[in-house]
Amino acid sequence: MSEHAADVVVVGLGPGGEDVAGRLAEAGLEVVAVNAGLVGGECPYWGCIPSKMMVRGAGLLAEARRVPDLAGSVDGVTGDWSKVATRIRDEATDDWDDQVAVDRLTGKGVTFVRGRGRLVSTDTVEVDGERYTARKGVVVATGSAPSIPPIDGIDTVDVWTNHEFIEAKEPARVARRAGRRGDRRRASARCRRGTACRSRSSSGPSGCSRWRSRRRPSLVLKAFEADGVTVRTGVGATGVRPGDDGGVVVTLDDGSEVAAERLLVASGRRVDVAAVGLDVVGVDPHAHAVPVDEWCRVEGAEQVWALGDVVGHGAFTHMSMFEADVVVRDLLGQGGEPATWHAIPRVTFTDPEVGAVGLTEAQAREQYPNVRVGSTPLESTTRGWIHGPGGAGVIHVVEDADRGVLVGATSVGPCGGEVLGFLALAVHARIPVSTMLAMPYAYPTFHRGIETALKALRDQ
């Protein structure tokens, strides 16, 4: 077995791992970076970037179909899936080839090793019979993988995850075992291009329902139904079998059946702690996440850092990049602010777009004795009224009244994720609500609804 040495060994090259490896190498450290899949991970090939291309195309179709209500007439608005499929293949993924990303990494001085890395000690990673020892530390950023639920018969059919869905060149009539925000946005994009979708979720109609005011119906559910998505909530799948026509049939626990051409499973993602060998540094091999401190150091393990999906603070590109910055600063001794996770932003790119940050109302009531909430329907604001069709939404704020600061917020509607920026800053920096009420809000904007929601909170 060959032995090699480097200052840092990075295992896993999604956005966070790639950033760590590149920046440390640029700082003059000797870095070995190990990855079995495509460099860049889920985000550029099967996640954020290609899915937003799908959403962009679907949004254009949706807006065109609103023209008769607001601006005149259009002739024959028809979706063409090949347009977005070609753009994903040619512009986003290079036909799922990562050579450009590999060259970018090695161009910074990183030694790239293609293979599965596994910790065999606190400072050594083994890859296909080769051992790489780290003088300064090992960084684990191995991400997560789709979780396939143990449903009877599911192994008898071809199951789609986000990979097959993104790579598909033709639309299909899809039955979805739903739950995650990424699947909701893909359903929205597909259905607006003429794909029939049937969604089954045991957890509720949409992620929006966890964040919204309890007094408001799910806007995303309404939008799905308007787009032709059949949504079944509160039911589970008990069986799967091949259909007579070569498709798939899903049996639900209420006795009904759903037939489709494809079964898309999006019931969450899983982290495999044992596969990367973190058990050798004391992490429970069955753990759903790796425990880390505020510098993303693995608890109880010297010279081992972890970031991204494996630490369980949110399976988002922006979280892995945020934690990557913390790891780089710690390894280089640069100091600065350690990580905090009280204001994690998340956005679901449906229409309406759903943005949320911090605690839900329910979570806040579990943690704080005195909670106030304020909401405003977006369509009641001037900009929402001007927008017309497609302008439905809500801004919802959650306050720890004893401190007078927001601990959570939701922004649903056009540009919901962009409006979230102000709210994310407020939650992260613990800006007093009184300060936010003492500033002017540009008129007429969507974000002006924040002021109305804060006034509703104040008037309680």
pLDDT in tens, 406-457: 999 999 999 999 999 999 999 999 999 999 999 999 999 999 999 999 999 9
Q: Cα–Cα distances in Å, from 354 out to 202, 264, 280, 345, 445? A: 20, 22, 40, 11, 17
Residue 215's pLDDT band (boundaries 50, 70, 90)? Answer: very low
CA 98 to chain centre: 21
Pairing of strands 405-413, 229-233: unpaired
The CATH fold of domain 154-268: FAD/NAD(P)-binding domain (3.50.50)
Q: Which residues contact 307 (CB under 8 A, 6 or more apart)?
A: 16, 17, 20, 139, 140, 141, 292, 296, 320, 323, 324, 326, 327
Query: Domain locations in the chain?
Result: 2-40+98-144+271-331, 154-268, 345-458
Confidence (pLDDT) at 125: 97
**Predicted pLDDT at 177:** 54
Which residue reads 């009420």 in tokens?
Answer: 437
CA 305/CA 107 separation, integer angstroms: 24
pLDDT at 82 over 70: yes
Task: For residue 368, give the 3-state DSSP assignment.
Answer: coil
Cα(219)–Cα(229) distance, rounded to whole angstroms?
A: 14
Asked whether residue 194 carries a pLDDT value surpassing 90, the answer given is: no
Among 355, 171, 197, residue whose Cα is nearest residue 266: 197
State yes or no: cis peptide before 338, omega within 30 of 0: no
Could you say which of 3.50.50.60, 2.60.40.10, 3.40.50.2000, 1.10.10.10 is the CATH number of the domain covering 2-40+98-144+271-331? 3.50.50.60
| pLDDT higher than 90, residue 212 | no
Averaged over 97-101, what is the pLDDT? 97
> Residue 76: its pLDDT value, please?
81
Among all chains, which residue has been given the structure tokens 């919802």? Answer: 396
CB 145 within 8 A of CB 269: yes
**Mean pLDDT confidence for 258-279:** 92
> For residue 178, how many C-alpha atoms fall within 13 Å in the half-sphere facing its CB?
30
> What is the rounded average pLDDT for all residues in the chain?
89
**Minimal CA–CA distance to 346: which of 361, 328, 358, 332?**
358
What tokens appear for 374 in the block?
A: 């304020």
User: Do 2-40+98-144+271-331 and 154-268 agree at the fold level?
Assistant: yes
Q: Hey, how many other C-beta atoms are within 10 angstroms of the C-beta on 368?
A: 17
pLDDT digits (tens, 9 = 90+) for 222-256: 888 887 888 888 888 999 999 988 899 999 999 99
Question: Which CATH superfamily hosts domain 345-458?
Answer: FAD/NAD-linked reductase, C-terminal dimerisation domain (3.30.390.30)
Average pLDDT over residues 319-337: 97
Quickly state the pLDDT bin for 174 (edges 50, 70, 90): low
Q: How far apart are CA 420 and CA 347, in angstroms?
A: 9
The structure's pTM equals 0.88
**d(C-alpha 288, C-alpha 273), whole Å:** 8
Backbone angles phi, psi at 432, to 5 degrees: -60, 140
Mean pLDDT value of segment 332-360: 95
Nearest partner of 233 among 259, 248, 253, judged by Cα: 253
User: pLDDT tens digits, residue range 308-319?
Assistant: 999 999 999 999
> pLDDT-derived band of residue 208, with 50, 70 and 90 as boundaries?
very low
Give the tokens for residue 275. 């596969």
* pLDDT of 217 above 50: no
The answer on pLDDT for 289 being more than 60 is yes
Instruction: Provide the pLDDT for residue 1.
Output: 72
Residue-level pLDDT at 176? 54
**Res. 197: pLDDT tops 80:** no
